[in-house]
Amino acid sequence: MAQRSGPPPIVFIAALIALLGGGYWFFFKRDQAPAPVATDAPVNTTQTGSNSTPTGTNTTISAAFPLPASVPAGTSVRIDGSTSMVTVNENLKQGFQRQFQGANVSTSAGGSDKGIQDLIAGKVEIAAVSRPLTSSEQAQGLTAVPIANDAIAVVVGKNNPFSGSLTIAEVSDIFQGKVNNWSAVGGTAGTIRVINRPAISGTNKSFQELILKGANFGTTPNIATLPRDATTPLLQALGTDGIGYATYAQVAKQQTVRVVPIDGLTPDSSSYPYQRTLYYVYKTPANPAVQAFIGYATSPQGQQALIGN
């Protein structure tokens, strides 16, 4: 019997497997992109801050100087300025001194204007300011760096019968002296005693800009201006018929006062209308100590220390 010639059956089986594999790749795999390769490269999410204080928005806090790896022992920084920034200054002072052993930060709170005057006179290295710089201050070589966002709270005494909300227009009218009775804003009849901060206060200037839209505070008999810029005396003076204003951080946990909602919004709302930016101001060019402290204050570590954590 004649034998059949040709390749053994195993060859056909191997060819069939190869054909099926090639077809699978052609129809199912050829259009798939290769998986991305993981990378440890950092993503830059820093945004540039602004020296303006638009109503209802927050300024992004950006690194003004690099965070130093170390500072020389004996590095000294003196700060004076806004009473609204007492807590900000103290938290950053403690954090800076803890991170850089041997550094010394001294703080005072004589008001924004005094801080700027002392800075120009060379009595301090940094002015803590709760308002933007004027053009004349900038012309003297001063530079402002946004440090934190803040809200101005309108407050009454805890035992004040008024427990409602005020509108933006009503607040403006009260502090301009156009409305001087609680009954005009939905409260019990009685004189509204307005407790105002002195003109040297940065919070006074911010309030005038944000709330009064540049108009002057009233001079009616029911409006009293404190002789010095300090929040504790203001809160103590409110009694059962007074109204005043302060940085929200200083009154948020107070047990003796109550924050008045504005158009139904409280200062912890992102849509609250009375928001502003707090600044550190230095004289150009900044010396190494100023660069180190402001670099720390605007770093993630400093921003964490700022809120007391």
Do 243 and 177 belong together in one domain?
yes
Q: Mean pLDDT for the chain? A: 84
**DSSP state for residue 26 in the 8-state scheme:** I
Q: Tell whether 69 is covered by a domain.
A: no
* CATH code for the domain in which residue 182 is found: 3.40.190.10
What is the rounded CA–CA span in Å between residue 167 and residue 208? 16
How many domains does one find in the chain?
2
Instruction: Judge if 215 and 296 occupy the same domain.
Output: no
Q: How confident is the model at residue 58 (pLDDT cuts 50, 70, 90)?
A: low
Distances (CA, A) of 127 to 21, 130, 191, 284: 74, 10, 38, 13
pLDDT higher than 90, residue 227: yes
pLDDT exceeds 80 at position 3 = no
Residue 90: strand, helix, or coil: helix
Residue 71 within a domain: no
Confidence of residue 239 (pLDDT cuts 50, 70, 90): very high
Which residue type sits at 201? S
In a domain, 39, yes or no: no
* Whether residue 225 is found in the same domain as residue 255: yes
Give 32's pLDDT tier (boundaries 50, 70, 90).
Answer: very low
Distances (CA, A) of 210 to 27, 36, 59, 88, 288: 66, 50, 15, 22, 35
Q: What's the pLDDT tens digit per position in 59-104?
A: 789 999 999 999 999 999 999 999 889 999 999 999 999 999 999 9
In a domain, 67, yes or no: no
Whether residue 96 lies inside any domain: the answer is yes
Q: Do residues 202 and 129 lie in contact, with contact meaning Cβ atoms separated by under 8 Å?
A: yes
| pLDDT score recorded for residue 306 | 86
* Contact call for residues 245 and 207 (beta carbons, < 8 A): yes
Q: Is the pLDDT of residue 285 over 70?
A: yes
Q: Is the pLDDT of residue 232 over 80?
A: yes
pLDDT higher than 60, residue 44: no
* Mean pLDDT lowest among 33-37, 66-70, 169-173, 252-256: 33-37
Higher pLDDT, 259 or 1: 259
Range of the structural domain that residue 121 is part of: 76-150+277-306
Q: What would the pLDDT profile of 99-139 be if each residue is shown by its tens digit?
A: 999 999 999 999 999 999 999 999 999 999 999 999 999 99
What number is the average pLDDT over the span 43-53?
Answer: 29
Same domain, 176 and 282: no
The residue-averaged pLDDT of 164-174 equals 97
Asked if residue 269 is part of any domain, the answer here is yes
161-170 mean pLDDT: 97
Q: What is the pLDDT of residue 35?
A: 29
Torsion of CA 297, 279, 64, 267, to 10 degrees: 70
The average pLDDT across 175-195 equals: 98
293 and 203 inside one domain: no
275-283 and 126-129 strand pairing: antiparallel
Residues 186 and 269 in one domain: yes
Determine the average pLDDT of the residues in 299-306. Answer: 94
Q: Is residue 18 part of a domain?
A: no
Are 117 and 221 in a shared domain? no
Same domain? For 298 and 263 the reply is no
The per-residue pLDDT for 92 is 97
Query: Do residues 88 and 278 touch, judged by C-beta distance below 8 A?
Result: yes
- How remote is the C-alpha of 109 from its chain's centroid? 19
Pair 190, 247 in one domain:
yes
Spell out the long-range contacts of 137-142 with Cβ–Cβ below 8 A and sequence spacing 24 or more. 137/281, 141/283, 141/284, 142/116, 142/281, 142/282, 142/283, 142/284
Beta strands of the chain (E only): which ranges?
Answer: 76-81, 104-107, 126-129, 142-157, 193-196, 223-225, 242-247, 257-259, 275-283
Q: What does the pLDDT average to over 267-291?
A: 96
- The verdict on 270 and 213 lying in the same domain is yes
Q: Is the pLDDT of residue 27 over 90?
A: no
Statement: residue 14 has pLDDT above 70 = no
Does residue 88 share a domain with residue 163?
Answer: no
Q: How confident is the model at residue 309 (pLDDT cuts 50, 70, 90)?
A: low
> Is 17's pLDDT higher than 80?
no
Residues 161 and 211 grouped into a single domain: yes
Would you say residue 4 lies in a domain?
no
